[in-house]
A = this chain, B = another copy of it.
Amino acid sequence: MSVAVSATTVDAFLGGKVEAVQPKDGHHRAGLEAVLLSAAIEPEFAGTVVDLGAGVGVAGMAVAARCPATGVILVERDSEAIACAREALARPANRAFAARMSIVAADIAEPESSRAAAGLGRAIADAVVMNPPFLEQGEGTASPRQARAAAHVLAGNGLETWFRVAASVLRPGGRLVVIFRADRLEVLLAALGNRFGDAAILPIHPRAALPAHRVLIGAVKGSRAPSRILPPLVLHPETGGTYLPNVERILRHGVGLAEAHLPWVSDTRG
C-alpha cells in the first residue's frame, strides 16, 4: 500500500526510546496523552495490548518499548496515520520493539464481523489502551483539513462505540485504560457501564489548584468491583511550563505510572 503523506516530522518520545513519524500539520499530533496512557501499563505486563484508534502509534509504541513481554496491535482507520506508523516501525530507533508490533487497518465503527476479518477478533487482547477523539460532532471550530477534523471528532455514538469495541476485543478480566477529557467523566463512567468494573479514576490536573483537564481510567472487563477516585496526577508546578519531576520521569524516562505516581500502583490490579 502506498499512501502519499505530505510533509512529516520525526518526534522523539521517552527520551528517544521511541521515534514517531507524524504529518507536519493537518493531522492530530500525538503527545502528552499518548505517553501518559502508555505509562498505565506496568513494565512487567505480559500479553497482547491493543492500541485502539492508535493514530500514528505513539501510545502503542511506548507500551512496546517499555514492556518487553507485550505484543502490541495498532488499530487505526486513517490511511495517512497508518503510513506514518509503518514508517516509524521501520526506523532503526524503534528496532528494539518493532518486531513485537503489528498494524490492523480497521474502523471501530465497522460491524464486528468485518473488524474480525481485519484482525481484530473477540477476546484477543489482555489490555486495550485508547485515547478517543476529544471533540464530539458539532463541537469546536471546524478544522480546515478533513484529516485533522476526523482525528479530533467523535462520530456517531461517540464514546459508547469505543467502549463496546474495547469490551469485545478484551478477554474476560482484561484491562482497559482510557484517557479523555475530564469534563466528560459522566459519559465515560456511563460507557464503562456493566461491561467493566474495578475502575481506577485518575484525575490529571495541569496545576495543583486547577480543575482536572484530563482523566485517565483503568478498568477490568467483567469485574463487579466498585470504582475508586485516586489521588490526582499534577503536571506542572504552580507557575511555568516545566513538568513536575514525577511527570518528567514518565515522559522522558519511560517510567510507569505505578512507579512515578504511587497511588496508581496501590490501587490497580496487576
Contact = CB atoms under 8 A, between A and B. Distances in A.
Q: How many copies does the complex hold?
A: 2
Contacts of A263: 209-211
A212 interface: yes
A226 interface: yes
Interface in A182-204: 182-186, 189-190, 192, 199, 201, 203
A168 interface: no
Interface residues of A, number: 29
B189 A228 contact: no
A267 interface: yes
A246 to B, nearest CB: 13
A266 B205 CA distance: 15
A223 interface: no
A229 B210 contact: no
Interface SS majority for chain A: mixed
Contacts of A142: none
Given A185-B201, A186-B190, A203-B203, A211 B231 contact: yes
A44 B183 CA distance: 28
Which of A184, A186, A201, A227 gathers the greatest number of chain B CB atoms within 10 Å? A186
A227 B215 CA distance: 12
A244 interface: no
* Among all A-B residue pairs, the 6 with the closest Cβ atoms: A183-B226, A186-B189, A212-B229, A211-B228, A203-B229, A182-B229
